[in-house]
Amino acid sequence: MSVALLFDLLLAAALLWCSWRALAAPTLQRAVVLFIVFGLLMTLAWARLAAPDIALAEAGIGAGLTGALLLDALGALRRRGGTGEKA
């Protein structure tokens, strides 16, 4: 088994694990952080698939801006009296 294949398999497993953990996370904050990690791993996956254009867009918009928006929304939820957690 070559190193590249091993890395790809590891990446795919990490993506699946991350997405599952993000969906099943007990708190919203953990879910948001896992979503950002998922976006960064996805960037790696696009780069491995030889699609650097999509990797750039995913890193900038998917992981960066969406993550910032979600974190800000979480902060706004908390300030408004909600705990920002699932009921």
Partner 1 sequence: MKRLAVSLGAALFAALLGAALLELGPPAATLAPLVAGTLAQSGVTHPVTAVLLNFRGYDTLLEIAVLLIALIGLTAVARRGEAPAATAAVEPVLTTLARLAAPLMVLVAVYLLWAGAFRPGGAFQAGAVLAAAAVLLHLTRLLPAWATPGTWLRAGLAGGFLLFLAIAAALLAEGALLKYPPAQAGLLILAIESGLTVSLGLILAGLFLFLSEERR
Residue 64 interacts with partner 1 (CB under 8 A): yes or no = yes
Considering only 13, 27, 72, 83, the residue that binds partner 1 (CB under 8 A) is 72
- Our finding on whether 61 is near partner 1 (CB under 8 A) is yes
Q: What is the DSSP string of 14-57?
A: HHHHHHHHHHH-SSHHHHHHHHHHHHHHHHHHHHHTT-HHHHHH
Shortest approach of partner 1 to residue 39 CB, angstroms?
12
CA quadruple 62, 67, 69, 70: dihedral sign: positive
Binding site for partner 1 (CB under 8 A): 52-53, 55-57, 60-61, 64-65, 68-69, 72, 75-76, 79
